[in-house]
Amino acid sequence: MAFDINHIRITGTVEQFDTINTRTGTPMIKASVRCFKELFTVVAFKELASSTILTIGERVEVKGRIQSNDWTDKDGNKRYGFQVVATEIGPDTEGGRETRPHAPPEREGVMEYSGGPF
């Protein structure tokens, strides 16, 4: 039996942080976290949002799931995107890039995917 798994873990630097109350009054935070060249939008709700305060430039580790969303921009165009819905947010205890494991010998010299088109 196969199981679907939607789980993401990123470490990076906080570039933006906002505290928001939803229309229903639920506490929410929204942050931008830079991980290498990628900028992730991170959201958290309820207790996690109430207990999380991030500082611009702080290194954090975020665990959660990816969620797709769509909206209409101010010009009436349909837009699509993804965000990380956090289940855990904390300090980056591994130090980011410096602690990444080296490639196994059979992968030495293989370039990593840089996020461009396939």
Backbone angles phi, psi at 8, to 5 degrees: -135, 145
pLDDT tens digits for 53-82?
Answer: 999 999 999 999 999 999 899 999 999 999
Mean pLDDT over each residue of the chain, to the nearest integer: 84
Token reading at 76? 């009436």
Contacts of 86 (CB under 8 A, 6+ apart): 42, 43, 44, 48, 62, 63, 64
Distance between CA 62 and CA 96 in Å, rounded?
12
% the chain with pLDDT above 90 = 65
Tokens at 53, concatenated: 């305060």
**Which of 30 and 99 is assigned the larger pLDDT?**
30
Confidence (pLDDT) at 111: 52
Architecture of domain 8-94 in this structure: Beta Barrel (2.40)
pLDDT: which is higher, 27 or 1? 27
Residue positions counted in the chain: 118
Q: Is the pTM of this model over 0.75?
A: no
